[in-house]
Amino acid sequence: MSDLHCAATLLIARHGDAEYGHSSVLTDEGGWLSEKGIAQAESLAASLATRRIARVHTSSLARAVESGAVAARVLGVDTRVVPGLEEFSVGALAGRPHDDPELASVVKAWMHGDLGRFIPGGETGEEVIARYREALLSIADQFRGETVLVFSHGGVMSFVLPRITGTVRDDPTAGRFLPNCAVAEVSVDGDGFTMRSWPGSSDRAVV
């Protein structure tokens, strides 16, 4: 990496409120922004007007891409898709209820450090962390000394960010659910990742 000790600031946001073709079951569908989600992305971008955002980056899933496009238009900057920022896949469990016990068991195992467990047809915890970390590093390497807005997803953010910022012991995401278009601020320099803020809510209804 260049300029290792010049930190990049990543404002990592959950996408705006979205709708899905099969909203009552687990799915890997990209979805699309609702009118509420569009308004949320516009409001977030307006609130960041003074932060001199250099670019907007998004996962490849449609709800994040659309959020990025809305925000980039308000901010007057470019937007780019970065592979690796996607939500973890539900794999072969697609079509099951959201409270599926098999998925819950795997996620619980990940949270307790058993990162080798995998979702059938999906990824291990190790794989999720590795690809997400590399995606963030690729962004930070291009924007040393600058601030970028990154649209991603609540589940993967809550799982990965504490594990790459060294805050698992006092996990700031535990019991604090991530609202749509809420921003976690992370700085990246030669010493690694530092989480500056986590905007979670104790109200699970925000998810």
Q: How far apart are CA 14 and CA 37, in angstroms?
A: 11
Q: What is the dihedral of CA 140, 142, 148, 151, to 10 degrees?
A: -70
Angle of helix 62-75 versus helix 35-47 axis, rounded to 10:
40
Inter-residue long-range contacts of 96-101, CB under 8 Å, 24+ positions, other chains counted: 96/25, 96/26, 97/24, 97/25, 97/26, 98/24, 98/25, 98/26, 100/26
What is the structure's pLDDT at 146?
98
What is the structure's pLDDT at 175?
76
What is the structure's pLDDT at 15?
98
Buried b (16+ CB within 10 A) or exposed e, 122-133: bbbbeebbbbbb
Structural domains of the chain sorted by starting position, each given as residue range(s) with its CATH number in brackets: 8-206 (3.40.50.1240)
What is the structure's pLDDT at 202?
74
Write out the E strands in 68-204: 79-81, 147-152, 183-189, 192-197
Q: Which residues of the chain have pLDDT under 50?
A: 1-2
What is the structure's pLDDT at 176?
81
pTM for this entry: 0.94
